[in-house]
Chains A and B, each alone.
Chain A
Amino acid sequence: MNNADETHTSAQTLDSLKVGEHARIVELTHGFVQVERDRLMDLGLTPGTEITAEFRSAGGDPTAYRVRQTLVALRKIQAELILVEKVAS
């Protein structure tokens, strides 16, 4: 685990992405319960995948992200558990 963190020192968490910004997923950390982590991976949020913050909910949270041509809503507390590297648009 520590290894992964060290190699991606430039990594930030997904929630820091502003609307319209792109990033590449580095890791879904183990802050997730297993079932939820599995589900998000099955939805296509695997390491290396490109992800774009599309729009926020009227309430401000969750945020809709585009992943593999689909829109997946993630709460802030979930996005905080996902490490990403920003990609220039």
Chain B
Amino acid sequence: MSGAASSCETCPAYRAGHLVRLGVDLSEAEFVVALAGNPNTGKSTVFNALTGLRQHTGNWPGKTVVRAEGGFEFASRRYKIVDLPGTYSLLSTSSDEEVARDFLLFGQPDVTIVVVDATCLERNLNLVLQVLQITDRVVVCLNLVDEAERKGIAVDDRALSRILGVPVVPASARYGKGIEDLNRALHEVATGTFQCQPLRVKPEHKLKTIISQMTERVVQAFPGIPNAQWVAIRLLDGDMRIEDAVRNGELRNMMLERSPLESAQGDAALLLDASNTYREEVGHKLHQTLVEEIYKQATDIASRVVDQGGQKASFDFDRSLDRLLTSRIFGFPIMLMLLIGVFWLTISGANVPSALLADLLIGTLHPLLKAGAVGIGMPWWMSGLLVDGMYLSTAWVIAVMLPPMAIFFPLFTLLEDFGYLPRVAFNLDKTFSRAGAHGKQALTMAMGFGCNAAGVVATRIIDSPRERLIAIITNNFALCNGRWPTQILIASIFLGGLVPAHLAGVVSAMAVVGVALLGVFLTFVVSWALSRTMLRGELSTFSLELPPYRPPRVMQTIYTSLIDRTLLVLRRAIVFALPAGAVIWLVSNIMVGNTTLAQHIIGFLDPFGAALGLSGLILLAYIVAIPANEIVIPTILMLTVLVTGAAGVGHGAGVMFELDSTAVTGELLRASGWTLLTALNLMLFSLVHNPCSTTIFTIWKETHSLKWTAVATLMPLFLGFGLCFTVAQIWHLVG
């Protein structure tokens, strides 16, 4: 709170005593304000400027997918503001626009702000005119005027305001310009000082008659329903979702959320009959007719208020850049270089802070905590469970995961901010479309190299249901940074050891890259297979907008992507890693008969592990380390010492550890029976097994489907079993 407030004091729009930002404290809001707009119009930036929150904003259509809420005070009135996902239209059936549509129509906000991009007003007017159809109180925020100016585009905001009949506020939200004016306009409209007279597009006569007749029917069935006309139009257009909402009473629930209706006794069947009859009269081109009429109006308005006099120069810059970045010759090399650059910076940049964190959390703090626990007389089992189990696993995950995340995601976000990532999707779309997938999957896959949970969340940018599911299910094949250390360690011990010392580094690096490429290959194969089998029937569409390039904001990007990506994912990992630490400690310390529970389980799993070219111990490590791939190796080492009873290594039962020396680690593993086959199959299995539980949970949250969560979890697991089994059998045959 205090941090947010102080940063506001420096922004130009701030006037002490005039505007009080409430962060997320929304109690007793007098007015509810909806923030709508096309994707990529800087809507989230406007939201942040109004509320002082720092929601992540990117130069990518479709950033906000769930609605974010915030609040502020202006002229001693309290406002609650709801940032809606980017929307092109209220007249479509696409599911990605549902949240915004439903809120605007049935949430009945007191005022709706429509954020429009001044550089392409005409296209944005489509949504503005649609919003004006359904509500009286609207403020248009003409955003990105600075960018328009650079491009030689001038918009006459006063004329636009006169035509639309609502306030139009020019703004440049990323620099805080126009926010004060926006607040004032909002206040005037909310309190009724400004009386809006919204422009309404009138459909041609015959259509108008049918729509108004149908609207009456809707009102009869649902007395007091807000936006009866919209419901009528959707029913006439044959929108199945609205038909269902009428049939099962969901429509009534939507309305009840905000304004309870007295006694809505709708006769659903009668209403649907009527809509079928009327639909025959309007034909099946209703949507097209309406959109055409709206756009006709939009074109007319734009021609009156937009002056594109000096447009040439900067369009030329954008165009030249696009020609270069998407060229047949340079397109892919540039992409590859940037990608390698991002990975190189991540891996090399993360080494030092990772080592420091490990030193601090594991090397220093752990013994201190342990000593402290003994000092206060804590029983051994309690300090073991808390300090050795729960603390250590959490510390491990932080040390391994935090530094690469803190470097990888901001870098990625800078490219996104600039507008480059949509071009990557554009360049790679052909490759992905051959596998039945969407070009944007290239980006969710790349995010997966950082963290699969983040990659799964990122699939929200894919608006086609089938392609999005494909991207979710296959994200796990992108080798996340929790698995890179395992790959590197095992490769340098077992594969680097096969060749002369001066080649060891290159060989092990190539082996790890090989595994990562195998993951990319599997992504395509599995995507292809899914799109032709399980996902055949799912709806598939394609749309990809290429936003204009924008100068990235470095400091803000680092701040926001640290906050909402790194910390979010990290917090989740800790939530899952903490209990895992307890389980790991418990299985190694609970005695059943003369031996630990762990040894019993390992004995039971051994035959199965052997058939896979692994071992019971490795399988147990993968079971208890489901929450986080980072702790697989420490768990394997701890269990190895537990089982072999190797003296002088490790810190006791249930205490995970890693060794400073790769050579000593190698000796320990070889002594416990590891062969080249074990190492090879471990690398394969590390790539191809179930996602970590953070990712599984994220998949469930994103799909809300038990079926797809199960597929995404079990398919790679069985694929991994199959792969390891095959390799082991061939190995035994040949060897």
Contacts and interface: CB of A to CB of B under 8 A. Distances in A.
B546 interface: yes
Contacts of B319: 54-55
Nearest to B119: A69
A88 B426 CA distance: 28
B326 A44 contact: no
B89 A38 contact: yes
Interface string A40-67: 1111101111000011111111101001
Contact of A75 (B295, B433, B548): B433
B541 interface: yes
A13 to B, nearest CB: 16
Contacts of B328: 58, 60
B120 A72 contact: no
A58 B322 CA distance: 10
A64 B322 contact: yes
B326 A35 contact: no
16 contacts: A28-B288, A33-B539, A35-B539, A35-B541, A38-B92, A38-B93, A38-B94, A44-B123, A55-B319, A55-B326, A56-B326, A61-B429, A64-B326, A68-B123, A73-B543, A73-B544
Contact of B546 (A28, A56, A69, A71): A71
Nearest to B422: A73
Contacts of A75: 429, 433, 542
Interface in B699-733: none
Given A49-B295, A70-B120, A70-B123, A40 B427 contact: no
Interface residues of B, number: 46
Contacts of A54: 319, 322
A36 interface: yes
A73 B120 contact: no
B670 interface: no
A78 interface: yes
Contacts of A58: 326-328, 331-332, 335, 427
A34 B543 contact: no
Given A39-B92, A39-B94, A46 B291 contact: yes
A48 B297 CA distance: 13
A42 B427 CA distance: 24
A39 B426 contact: no
Nearest to A67: B123
B431 interface: yes
B430 interface: yes
Contacts of A42: 88-89, 91-92, 126, 291
B123 A73 contact: no
Q: Chain A interface residue count: which class?
A: 35 or more
B292 interface: yes
A62 B123 contact: no
Contacts of B326: 55-58, 64
B94 A73 contact: no
Interface string B160-178: 0000000000000000000
B322 A55 contact: yes
Contacts of A49: 295
Highest count of chain B CB atoms <10 Å: which of A33, A42, A48, A54? A42
B122 interface: yes
A58 B89 CA distance: 31
Interface string B84-108: 0000110111100000000000000
Given A57-B429, A60-B328, A46 B545 contact: no
Q: Which 3 A-B pairs have the closest CB atoms?
A: A58-B331, A59-B430, A42-B89
A57 B327 CA distance: 7
B503 to A, nearest CB: 35
Given A55-B326, A59-B429, A68-B122, A43 B92 contact: no
A78 B322 CA distance: 21
B427 A43 contact: no
Given A55-B326, A64-B322, A43 B429 contact: no
B179 to A, nearest CB: 25
A36 B122 contact: no
A15 B323 CA distance: 19
Nearest to B424: A58
Interface string B430-455: 11010000010000000000000000
